[in-house]
Structure 1
C-alpha cells in the first residue's frame, strides 16, 4: 500500500514536470508567484513589520537566485502569446539584455544570501528588488 502511494506520488510529480515543460508560460507564472511571495515576506522584514530572520532572508535570496537561473529558459518563441502572458515582445527582440537582467538579479541574490542582520538584509533586498522593477519596466506588458 505504501509502495503504491509512492509510485502514484512519483507519477504525479512526473506529470507535473511534463506539464510545466510543455507550458513555459504557466511555469514562468508559477516561478514569478514564488518570487512575489518571497518579496512580500522580505518587504515585511525590511519595513520592520516582521522580525528579521536570517534563515528566512536566505530562503528569499535562494528563491530569487533559483528564479533568475530558470526564467531565461522559459521564453521559447512558441510562448510569445497565450496563457494570459504579460511578456513583452522586447524579450525576444533583446535576448542579450533580457538574459543580462536575470544574471544581475542572480548576482544580487547571491550577494544577499549571506546577510546576517537587518541592515545588511535591507541593502541586499533593495538591490535585488530594484532589478525586479527595472526588468518589469522593459520586459513586461502593463495591464
Structure 2
C-alpha cells in the first residue's frame, strides 16, 4: 500500500513539474511577444515620419529608441531552450540553432538605438541615423522569424 502511495506521489510531483514548465514556456512566449509588439507600436509613427507621411517629432523618435534599447536587452533571455518553435510562436528553429548570432542582433539593436538616441537632434539627423537602427529588425525577421 505504501509503495502505491509513493508511486502516486512521485507521478503527481512529476506531473506538477511538467505542468509548471509548460506554463512557464507559455508565459515566456507571451512576454517576448508583448515586448516585440511594443517594437511595432513604437515603430509605426516613426515609420510615417521617415516616409514623410507625418511631421518629425523628436520626442516620439526618442521614445521609440528608448523602447528598442530597453527591450533588446531583455529579449534574448525570453528565448530559452524549449520555448519554440511551436504553434504559438513565429520563432524559427534558427533562433536556438544560432543562439549566439540571434542574441548578438539584440545587442546590436540596443547599441545602435542608444547611439542614435544621442545622435538624433533634428529631422536631418533622424533620416541619417534611424534607418540603420531598424535594419536590425529586418535582419532578425529575415533569419529568425516565420514569414507571414
**TM-score (ref. length: structure 1):** 0.80
Regions of 4+ moved over 4 Å: 19-22
Q: What secondary structure, in the 3-state scheme, does the structure 1 residue paired with 2:82 have?
A: helix
User: Looking at CA atoms only, which structure, 1 or 2, has the larger radius of gyration?
Assistant: 2
**Residue of structure 2 equivalent to 1:49:** 53
Shift of 1:110: 0.6
Question: Mean Cα displacement is larger for which, 57-66 or 117-126?
Answer: 117-126
Count of matched residue pairs: 125
Shift of 1:82: 4.0
The CA deviation string for residues 48-79 of structure 1, in whole angstroms up to 9 with x for no partner, is: 22211111111010011112101100001131
Q: 5+ unaligned residues in a row in structure 1: which ranges?
A: 1-18
The CA deviation string for residues 8-27 of structure 1, in whole angstroms up to 9 with x for no partner, is: xxxxxxxxxxx989611111
**Residue of structure 2 equivalent to 1:122:** 127
**TM-score (ref. length: structure 2):** 0.77
Q: What secondary structure, in the 3-state scheme, does the structure 2 residue paired with 1:58 have?
A: helix
Q: Distance in 1 between matches of 2:115 and 2:29?
A: 29
What RMSD, in angstroms, separates the aligned Cα atoms of the two structures?
1.8
Q: Distance in 2 between matches of 1:54 and 1:20?
A: 38
Q: What secondary structure, in the 3-state scheme, does the structure 1 residue paired with 2:45 have?
A: helix
Q: 5+ unaligned residues in a row in structure 2: which ranges?
A: 1-22
**Residue of structure 2 equivalent to 1:136:** 141
1:1-143 correspondence runs (5 A): 23-82=27-86, 84-114=88-118, 115-143=120-148
Shift of 1:81: 3.6
Q: Distance in 1 between matches of 2:126 and 2:55?
A: 12
